[in-house]
């Protein structure tokens, strides 16, 4: 009875799922788009101010961003999911403890990554696929951006907690403010001060620091509860629970990083054997990966925005609301990704031109890469949505499996095998094949979970669906 009363007082359990998705996902989408824009804006201004080698350098450095986001999701999503699941069960003190552990882990992981990256930077960049011509630019860029790793990780992780606390708009404002500052400083530093690629890196770090400061200020005045210094102690049990749920999102990002490293090395090797050379494919891949990441930000943003809705209602045993939320997520993401598919097929040259000029061979390769590699983009949103769904309801291993399907189980082997027979074209055809298989896998796993929740609804211990108005249904 006490749990039901607690649920009835929470908007996550009684408000229309459509309104909740809009309220939580729109700010989350904007935050993720802004996060992607950090890299796209740098790519645009560096491409215009430095040229093709500058674009290639940001591509080589991009796996570091994947690592930062992976750690932020591992800790942030895991912490936020545990926070919401315990709030849904009425265990507020436990939720408070998870919030504190999450904050401390985010700060610690950022500092460790920054130090390690700077100590071993050159061999890491060579392993990431840098050529001799690109390496000086990549070293300059990454030596500066590595100083911002703690702020990038903390900001993204803090924003998960802020959304879970019921303040998705503030989370969005934190990210948008940093992006606006980065966008304003990029042309000033690159063109005005003539700092070149170092200017783009400096603008990025300054934006990240300001975003992190704003997010940290919010955590001192949490809405749901008052956090104290004692909450910040890292508890082993909390760490295990956070990692067990957040590991699916972590592996998804790490898988993306592994694929990009393999992609960079494969493109430079087979590019050198083709008429394009090694640097053109590397530069084109940098542009296309950033554009695709921008589109994927919609799916990740919607998934993260819906995490509190899914986690709370699953914890409260309101399974009909969980199913309804997931259905609407999938429909919205499919519509957005279908629009991206049309753009990639019809205007790839115009998109690439935004990132600077290049030779006819450069644009020819980029257009083919866009049309072939991203041919199945219209169904690409299904896998991250369903993977995050499993993480949100505490079924981490299913989320982990799904996070590995497209990148590691399907795409990575295809990138390594197909070029043996098709040359550099094999890299392009690996994308749509992996996308199609991953989407089918996500569909059947999600469908199985739907059926399992229907069975749970028939059990005696499930709370009845709360219906306070027609809009709540």
In a domain, 272, yes or no: yes
Query: What DSSP string describes 135-181?
Result: HHHHHHHHHHHGGGHHHHHHHHHHHHHHHHTT-HHHHHHHHHHHHHH
CA atoms lying within 13 Å on the CB side of residue 125: 27
Residues 144 and 195 occupy one common structural domain: yes
In a domain, 259, yes or no: yes
Q: Where does the pLDDT of residue 468 fall: very low under 50, low under 70, confident under 90, or very high at 90 and above?
A: very low
What tens digit of pLDDT does each residue of 243-255 get? Answer: 988 887 787 788 8
Please tell me the predicted confidence (pLDDT) of residue 471: 41
Would you say the pTM of this structure is higher than 0.75? no
Please tell me the predicted confidence (pLDDT) of residue 169: 86
Query: What percent of the chain has pLDDT above 90?
Result: 44
In degrees, rounded to 5, the angle at the alpha carbon of residue 138 between the alpha carbons of residues 132 and 140 is 120
From 398, 392, 439, select the one nearest 24 (Cα to Cα). Answer: 392
Count of domains forming the chain: 2
> Is the pLDDT at 99 greater than 50, yes or no?
yes
> Is the pLDDT at 76 greater than 60, yes or no?
yes
Residues 5 and 139 occupy one common structural domain: yes
With contact defined as beta carbons under 8 Å apart, do 261 and 131 qualify? no
> Is the pLDDT at 291 greater than 70, yes or no?
yes
Please tell me the predicted confidence (pLDDT) of residue 7: 57
- Other CB atoms closer than 10 Å to residue 120's CB: what's the count? 11
> Is the pLDDT at 103 greater than 80, yes or no?
yes
In a domain, 243, yes or no: no
Residues 186 and 279 occupy one common structural domain: no
What tens digit of pLDDT does each residue of 115-168 get? Answer: 999 999 999 999 998 988 999 999 999 999 999 999 999 999 999 899 888 888
In a domain, 190, yes or no: yes
What tens digit of pLDDT does each residue of 311-368 get? Answer: 888 888 888 888 999 999 999 999 999 999 999 999 999 998 888 777 899 999 999 9
Q: Name the domain boundary from 182, 203, 234.
A: 234
In a domain, 173, yes or no: yes
**H or E element at residue 208:** helix 197-219
In a domain, 473, yes or no: no
Residues 226 and 281 occupy one common structural domain: no
Residues 4 and 116 occupy one common structural domain: yes
Q: Residue 410: left if φ>0, alpha if ψ -120 to 50, beta else—which one?
A: alpha
- Domain range for 315 is 248-460
From 362, 364, 371, select the one nearest 344 (Cα to Cα). Answer: 371
Q: Considering all CA atoms of the chain, what is the largest pairwise distance in Å, rounded to the nearest integer?
A: 72
> Is the pLDDT at 437 greater than 50, yes or no?
yes
Q: Where does the pLDDT of residue 305 fall: very low under 50, low under 70, confident under 90, or very high at 90 and above?
A: confident
Residues 161 and 292 occupy one common structural domain: no
For residues 380-398, b (16+ Cβ closer than 10 Å) or e, as one string? bbbbbbbbbbbbbbbbbeb
Q: Return d(Cα 186, Cα 122) in angstroms, integer.
A: 25
Q: Which two tokens stand for residue 300?
A: 């990740």
Q: Which two tokens stand for residue 123?
A: 């061999």
Please tell me the predicted confidence (pLDDT) of residue 128: 92
Q: Name the domain boundary from 211, 234, 257.
A: 234
Residues 179 and 82 occupy one common structural domain: yes
Residues 104 and 162 occupy one common structural domain: yes
With contact defined as beta carbons under 8 Å apart, do 205 and 145 qualify? yes
What tens digit of pLDDT does each residue of 443-463 get? Answer: 999 999 988 888 887 764 554
Please tell me the predicted confidence (pLDDT) of residue 71: 95
């Amino acid at each position: 009875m006490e749990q039901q009363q607690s649920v009835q007082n929470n908007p996550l359990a009684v408000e229309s799922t459509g309104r909740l998705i809009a309220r939580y996902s729109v700010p989350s989408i904007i935050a993720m788009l802004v996060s992607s824009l950090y890299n796209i804006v740098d790519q645009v201004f560096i491409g215009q101010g430095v040229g093709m080698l500058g674009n290639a350098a940001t591509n080589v450095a991009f796996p570091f961003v994947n690592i930062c986001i992976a750690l932020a999701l591992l800790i942030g999503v895991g912490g936020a999911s545990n926070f919401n699941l315990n709030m849904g069960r009425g265990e507020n003190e436990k939720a408070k403890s998870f919030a504190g552990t999450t904050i401390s882990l985010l700060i610690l992981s950022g500092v460790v990554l920054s130090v390690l990256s700077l100590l071993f930077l050159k061999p890491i960049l060579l392993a990431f696929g840098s050529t001799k011509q690109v390496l000086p630019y990549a070293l300059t860029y990454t030596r500066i951006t590595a100083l911002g790793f703690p702020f990038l990780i903390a900001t993204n992780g803090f924003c998960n907690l802020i959304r879970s606390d019921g303040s998705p708009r503030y989370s969005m404002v934190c990210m948008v403010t940093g992006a606006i500052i980065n966008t304003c400083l990029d042309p000033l530093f690159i063109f005005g001060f003539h700092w070149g690629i170092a200017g783009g890196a400096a603008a990025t770090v300054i934006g990240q620091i300001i975003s992190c400061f704003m997010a940290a200020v919010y955590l001192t005045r949490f809405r749901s509860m008052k956090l104290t210094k004692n909450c910040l102690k890292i508890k082993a049990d909390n760490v295990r629970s956070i990692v067990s749920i957040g590991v699916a999102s972590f592996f998804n990002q790490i898988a993306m990083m592994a694929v990009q490293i393999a992609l960079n090395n494969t493109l430079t090797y087979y590019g050198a054997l083709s008429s394009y050379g090694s640097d053109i494919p590397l530069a084109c891949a940098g542009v296309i990966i950033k554009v695709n990441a921008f589109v994927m930000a919609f799916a990740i943003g919607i998934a993260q925005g819906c995490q509190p809705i899914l986690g709370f209602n699953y914890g409260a045993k309101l399974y009909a609301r969980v199913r309804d939320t997931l259905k609407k997520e999938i429909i919205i993401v499919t519509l957005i990704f279908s629009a991206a598919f049309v753009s990639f097929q019809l205007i790839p040259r115009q998109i690439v031109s935004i990132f600077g000029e290049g030779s006819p061979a450069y644009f020819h390769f980029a257009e083919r890469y866009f049309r072939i590699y991203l041919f199945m983009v219209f169904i690409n949103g299904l896998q991250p949505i369903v993977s995050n769904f499993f993480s949100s309801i505490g079924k981490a291993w299913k989320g982990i499996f799904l996070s590995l399907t497209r990148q590691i189980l399907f795409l990575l082997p295809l990138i390594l095998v197909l070029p043996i027979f098709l040359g550099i074209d094999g890299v392009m055809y690996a994308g749509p094949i992996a996308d199609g298989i991953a989407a089918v896998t996500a569909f059947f796993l999600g469908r199985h979970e739907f059926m399992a929740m229907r069975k749970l609804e028939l059990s005696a211990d499930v709370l009845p669906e709360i219906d306070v108005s027609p809009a709540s249904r």
